Amino acid sequence: MLTHSSATSSSFRRTSAAAAAAATDSIFGSGNHDVLRDLINIHGESKKHFVLMGDFNYSFKKWPPDRVTDVLTEESKNFIDCLDDNFLTPNVTLPTRNNAILDLIITDEPDMIPEISDLGPLGNSDHNALLWSTRVRTETAKRTQRILDYPKTDIAGMKQELQAIDWYKLLGTLSIEDSWSTFKHKIQEIETRYVPMKSVHLGKPKPMWLSHKALKAVKHRHKVHRKYKHARKKID
């Protein structure tokens, strides 16, 4: 079962919310694991903020799971890989049924769910009810940088000042290194007077740990995965 809704705010341009229930094949028929991962991939690639919540029926003793010591099914491992590939956060770290984590609140931003409370079982349910708040509006700091606006350079004024300099007198008795240093600082000094500054907006920064090589590899993997899904649909 899957229900879906969406909301719009001034900061998160569009925030989608979806609720999922039990991906287990024995309860809801075959193929639901693939459908769930496809849904996660679609939201992960949408570049929109979203919340996906519910009983996913993958039993985890803790989060993040330990692939070495924890007993995980192949479908559970695929589910974890799907979340990791899309840089998603499951948020829930406390047991929701007995000693297992079955219910998750998946978000594309790690800070969308600041706090989660365990309300205990709801009615006759054997799952604990969770209470949380969702941040759907944040103050986004504008990232700007001041740079030289070379197209608006006062070429005539700069040329006139450069021609007026007695370079032999300025550099004639200096060593090679001192001559270069004096020449460079003189050019920079003139540059600040005749080349105006302008502010440019910078894009959203990538995580500090994500190198350009790794980012390129992730984009390539997503591209290959989309081609694979498209080819599989044609075969089906």
- Give 57's DSSP letter: E
Q: Pick left, alpha or beta for residue 206 (phi over 0 → left; psi -120 to 50 → alpha; otherwise beta).
A: beta
Buried b (16+ CB within 10 A) or exposed e, 125-148: eeebebeeebbbeeeeeeeeeeee
Structure tokens at 84: 């990791």
| Residue 152 confidence class, pLDDT cut points 50, 70, 90 | very high
Pairing outcome for strands 15-21 and 49-60: parallel
Structure tokens at 190: 């003139």
Q: Give yes or no for a contact between 12 and 49, defined as CB atoms under 8 angstroms apart.
A: yes
How confident is the model over 164-190, as pLDDT tens digits? 999 999 898 889 999 999 999 999 999
Identify the pLDDT of residue 156. Answer: 94
Which residue segments constitute the domains of the chain, with CATH numbers given?
Answer: 2-140 (3.60.10.10), 144-200 (no CATH)
Q: Give yes or no for a contact between 36 and 2, defined as CB atoms under 8 angstroms apart.
A: no
Distance CA 230, CA 223 (A): 11
All residues at 6 or more sequence positions from 151 whose CB lies less than 8 Å from its CB, including other chains: none
Identify the pLDDT of residue 185. Answer: 93
pTM for this model (two decimals):
0.51
How confident is the model over 33-90, as pLDDT tens digits? 888 888 888 888 887 888 888 888 888 988 888 888 888 888 989 999 999 888 899 9
| Residue 215 confidence class, pLDDT cut points 50, 70, 90 | confident
